[in-house]
Chains A and B, each alone.
Chain A
């Protein structure tokens, strides 16, 4: 609100603090500040009193002490002798891992479902709206528990793979789906493997460069280069060639049944898969709605205009609809990513060792340092979401329609 300034100079009276709009806002702010300080001081005072009464203190020394418990899925070196801090880092990395995986798959699910909801196939349309409604209207906690239960109940136990006539067998002899997780071959990076990896990374860059070039050519001359096959070729051919040139430096370690479990290979634990799948399919339903809304937000005239220019349906989608729809889709999409990250804290329901389960769970239990643990936990999530918000703001500024 614009404040009307009165040119006439009056002498200051205390009542003006309340009645004069020039000063009233200062009064209000002062009161608010005082109230805030008062509340904080009151809470802090209580905290000090309570801690003194209980003989406790606030200290973060426990972070350096050995954690004493084991974690089943770790991305960094961790044993039960590692410190609570290491356990927390393991948890942070696990949170980020599941959040990243779930974001990727949720986007795929969501885009597919969102596009199919607009399909002209009646059955598909109904099936997809059934999926969206079923997942949007039931708490994610229930879904996580149900999916975890389905996984453990439906998939075979490793013991089912044993014996001469096993109940279950590995797919292609290399991938095993068990209720403890999925075992896949793990690449072993031999000598010279770095060359192959570097080649592959260069190929990826090459693909982007090629597509850019094709687009530029299209805009400049109207000549259309094929993108599908050449991209694939650029992506794989050099790497495969290099792989053989270097003498097959990358080999695979296949999982094998041994003892109680599969040995070797890479194990993706059941809790991770359950949480990953549950979060992606749940959030996918929300993303589907965003995608649908985004596509619908592009007015029909755009499609018709594109069609009258002679574009084919696929190109209409790629060149006309999607670029406009993305502007509508991306902001809610990013806040869905934020939701995935926050919902990953429900990992404790399935026993996945994310930050809430390590720092906010076992560490908190074992050390009893509730205030410290919860504070660190909130700090972590806060940093993550502020980071994502920052990305979102940058994006929003970048895609803002310039002419408005």
Chain B
């Protein structure tokens, strides 16, 4: 009876879905939208707002890539993925890139055949406990019940850490952040552990954030970054250098406010000129327009602006730059030169 709906859906799917084959850049251009995999909702990194617009730090990267490739930061189709589905979605070509606070690990890079194009957030796994527990160090957590969000590297780090310190614990694996939060607040677990940024974001949403403390120990390295499929280096380059452009723009003092001026004519700084396409042909080398970086940066601002707007200290999440400051400020952000 409803065969037509099905067939119709098939046609629609056929029209919208792109090919997973090598030339992702051409596919994205032909399709006119970028399919970007994000989380199902983590405030600050990627979450739909009241009106269904995606917003967040990872979303900012997607929009920058869409702006660089298609000239329109809105031309992104956000595909929500869970920890389980994200890699298949990328491998099967359902999404063109994954910007879902995904940790860069050896096995993901080598065994699962993905290419991490860089790091957009240096994170580490932390612990949050209620203040009344009187715990000041993760070393005191022997015997605690720990809430973990599943589908991440978190479980492994946690197991390693407690094993290393010969402590016992009781894991409570939870599927979504919201549910983990509810468990934690109800006292069903003593500790909530996930990436420190996630903890900060979670705590920000609490009724009384001050009643909870983040423990000083960071038990793992979690370089989070966007990734693409192995084997399509042109597309990998586009994403990698879009990310680098955002980072370099901050280092060079290019912001969304002054970029229009700077891009209108070649200025004094050759590197800015090359970045903004007023000199050289970097865009052409990538297979993009000359002003690709201008569009990418205008989409949501440079790295620093994106950070401040979504997760910075003025937002409820209130993350300090820390490791994510420019190398010139003592951080780890270090974009290779544009030349």
Residues in A lying within 8 Å of B, measured CB to CB: 50, 53-56, 68-72, 79-81, 149, 152-153, 156-160, 179-180, 258-261, 263, 270-271, 348-349, 351, 353, 357, 361-362, 364-366, 368, 370
What A residues does B143 contact at CB under 8 A? 258-261, 263
Alpha-carbon gap, A362 to B83, bound state (A)? 9
Question: Provided the pairs A159-B187, A261-B144 are in contact, do residues A362 and B173 lie with their beta carbons within 8 angstroms?
Answer: yes
Q: Is the CB of B169 within 8 A of A270?
A: no
Q: Is the CB of B113 within 8 A of A70?
A: no
- The verdict on B316 contacting chain A, using a C-beta distance below 8 Å, is no
Question: Provided the pairs A80-B159, A362-B173, A364-B84 are in contact, do residues A179 and B113 lie with their beta carbons within 8 angstroms?
Answer: no
- Chain A residue at minimum C-beta to C-beta distance from B143: A259
- The verdict on B151 contacting chain A, using a C-beta distance below 8 Å, is yes
- Chain B residue at minimum C-beta to C-beta distance from A353: B173
Q: Is the CB of B186 within 8 A of A179?
A: yes
0 or 1 for each of B308-329: is its CB under 8 Å from A? (1 = yes):
0000000000000000000000
- Chain B residue at minimum C-beta to C-beta distance from A361: B150
- The verdict on B214 contacting chain A, using a C-beta distance below 8 Å, is no
0 or 1 for each of B138-164: is its CB under 8 Å from A? (1 = yes):
000111110000111001101110110
What B residues does A348 contact at CB under 8 A? 150, 175
Q: Is the CB of A180 within 8 A of B173?
A: no
What B residues does A68 contact at CB under 8 A? 155-156, 159-160
Additional A-B contacts beyond A159-B133, A349-B175, A353-B173 (20; CB < 8 A): A68-B155, A70-B159, A79-B163, A153-B186, A179-B187, A180-B189, A259-B143, A260-B141, A261-B144, A270-B188, A271-B172, A351-B150, A351-B172, A351-B173, A361-B150, A361-B151, A361-B173, A362-B151, A362-B155, A365-B83
Residues in B lying within 8 Å of A, measured CB to CB: 20-21, 83-84, 87-88, 91-92, 107-108, 111-113, 132-133, 141-145, 150-152, 155-156, 158-160, 162-163, 169-175, 182-183, 186-190, 229-231
- Chain A residue at minimum C-beta to C-beta distance from B87: A368
- Chain B residue at minimum C-beta to C-beta distance from A263: B143
A55, A260, A353 — which one has the most chain B CB atoms within 10 A of its CB?
A: A260
Alpha-carbon gap, A362 to B173, bound state (A)? 9
Identify which of B91, B107, B133, B150 contacts A362 (C-beta below 8 A).
B150
What B residues does A370 contact at CB under 8 A? 87-88
Query: Can you show 23 pairs from A to B with CB atoms below 8 A apart?
Result: A53-B20, A54-B91, A68-B160, A70-B159, A70-B162, A81-B163, A149-B182, A152-B183, A152-B188, A179-B188, A180-B145, A260-B133, A260-B144, A261-B170, A348-B150, A351-B172, A351-B173, A351-B174, A353-B173, A357-B150, A361-B173, A366-B155, A368-B87
What B residues does A353 contact at CB under 8 A? 173
Alpha-carbon gap, A261 to B141, bound state (A)? 11
Q: Is the CB of A368 within 8 A of B112?
A: yes
Alpha-carbon gap, A56 to B189, bound state (A)? 39
Alpha-carbon gap, A12 to B152, bound state (A)? 67
A142 to chain B, nearest CB (A): 14
Alpha-carbon gap, A70 to B175, bound state (A)? 16
What B residues does A259 contact at CB under 8 A? 142-144
- Chain A residue at minimum C-beta to C-beta distance from B108: A368
What B residues does A270 contact at CB under 8 A? 188
A260 to chain B, nearest CB (A): 4
Alpha-carbon gap, A349 to B20, bound state (A)? 32
Alpha-carbon gap, A72 to B174, bound state (A)? 12
Question: Provided the pairs A157-B186, A260-B190, A261-B170 are in contact, do residues A365 and B151 lie with their beta carbons within 8 angstroms?
Answer: yes
Alpha-carbon gap, A157 to B27, bound state (A)? 54
A84 to chain B, nearest CB (A): 12
- Chain B residue at minimum C-beta to C-beta distance from A364: B84
Alpha-carbon gap, A266 to B183, bound state (A)? 22
What A residues does B186 contact at CB under 8 A? 152-153, 157, 179
A188 to chain B, nearest CB (A): 20
A52 to chain B, nearest CB (A): 11
What B residues does A349 contact at CB under 8 A? 175
A183 to chain B, nearest CB (A): 12
Alpha-carbon gap, A55 to B111, bound state (A)? 9
- Chain B residue at minimum C-beta to C-beta distance from A73: B170
Q: Is the CB of B231 within 8 A of A361?
A: no
Q: Is the CB of B188 within 8 A of A180?
A: yes
Identify which of A55, A69, A72, A361 contacts B113 (C-beta below 8 A).
A55
B179 to chain A, nearest CB (A): 8
Alpha-carbon gap, A348 to B230, bound state (A)? 31
Q: Is the CB of B84 within 8 A of A71?
A: no
Alpha-carbon gap, A294 to B133, bound state (A)? 55
Alpha-carbon gap, A48 to B20, bound state (A)? 15
Question: Provided the pairs A55-B231, A351-B173 are in contact, do residues A157 and B188 lie with their beta carbons within 8 angstroms?
Answer: yes
A236 to chain B, nearest CB (A): 35
What A residues does B169 contact at CB under 8 A? 70
A224 to chain B, nearest CB (A): 53
Q: Is the CB of A72 within 8 A of B91?
A: no
A375 to chain B, nearest CB (A): 14
What B residues does A70 contact at CB under 8 A? 155, 158-159, 162, 169, 171
What A residues does B21 contact at CB under 8 A? 53
Alpha-carbon gap, A53 to B173, bound state (A)? 34
What B residues does A179 contact at CB under 8 A? 186-188
What B residues does A152 contact at CB under 8 A? 182-183, 186, 188
B175 to chain A, nearest CB (A): 6
Identify which of A54, A261, A357 contacts B145 (C-beta below 8 A).
A261
A326 to chain B, nearest CB (A): 40
Question: Provided the pairs A55-B230, A179-B187, A260-B145 are in contact, do residues A69 and B175 lie with their beta carbons within 8 angstroms?
Answer: no
- Chain B residue at minimum C-beta to C-beta distance from A50: B92
What A residues does B107 contact at CB under 8 A? 368
B187 to chain A, nearest CB (A): 3
Alpha-carbon gap, A80 to B170, bound state (A)? 12
A60 to chain B, nearest CB (A): 15
What A residues does B113 contact at CB under 8 A? 54-56
- Chain B residue at minimum C-beta to C-beta distance from A368: B112
Q: Is the CB of B188 within 8 A of A80?
A: no
Q: Is the CB of A368 within 8 A of B111?
A: yes
Identify which of B92, B156, B188 contacts A69 (C-beta below 8 A).
B156
Alpha-carbon gap, A364 to B86, bound state (A)? 12
Alpha-carbon gap, A157 to B187, bound state (A)? 5
